Structure formats: C-alpha cells, structure tokens
Amino acid sequence: MASLVPCPHCGQRPKEEFTIKGAALTRPTAGADASDWFDYVYLRDNPRGAYAEYWHHTSGCRRWIILTRDTVTHEVVASHDAGDRSRSEARK
C-alpha cells in the first residue's frame, strides 16, 4: 500500500496516522430479517479489486473516511468523508 493516504480534510498523510476499521458495507434496513443481519455481521466476501473500507484518521483530524483501495495492488482509488455517505443514505 502507498505510504500516503489521501484524507479529504488534511490532504496526503502517512498511513501510520490512520486506523483501519473494516468494510464499508450497507446496513440492512431496520425491518430486515435475522438472516440478513447475520450475513451483515458475520459473513464477508474477500474480493479482488476495488473495495471500500472505513478508516479513522486517529492522529489527524479524527474524522471517519471511506477509503476505496485495490485489494491486489493496494492502490488507493478514492477517499471521501464517511459522513457524506451517511447523509446520502438517510435521504433514501
């Protein structure tokens, strides 16, 4: 993985400033059945290619970002504030 991570708030920062928190998956709706929640909590695909993950800028702005990176080359494809995703999902 590149040694610099593009934070949408701070710019290019060393990866050591961040903590990786996991896959950025869409939560099931409140009325979803138990099998949907089981799949969301316990089952993960291990894809090759672009994959979105939650990262926390622990030694910087302390904001949550969604970093999309290639799981094969570790190249960073995109980076944006995680709050932007939450607000856009809330509008649906």
The pLDDT tens digits of the residues spanning 61-89 come to 999 999 999 989 989 999 999 988 655 55
Tens of pLDDT, residue by residue over 32-67, are 999 999 999 999 888 899 999 999 999 999 999 999
Q: Give me the pLDDT at residue 22, please.
A: 86
Interatomic CA distance for residues 79 and 68, integer angstroms: 6
CA distance 5 to 26: 23
Ordered by where they begin, the domains of the chain are 19-25+34-90 (3.30.2270.10)
pLDDT tens digits for range 1-42:
558 999 999 999 999 999 999 888 888 999 999 999 999 999
pLDDT of 46 reads 83
Rounded to two decimals, what is the model's pTM? 0.78
Q: Specify the 3-state DSSP secondary structure of 32.
A: coil
Strand pairing category for 64-70 and 50-56: antiparallel
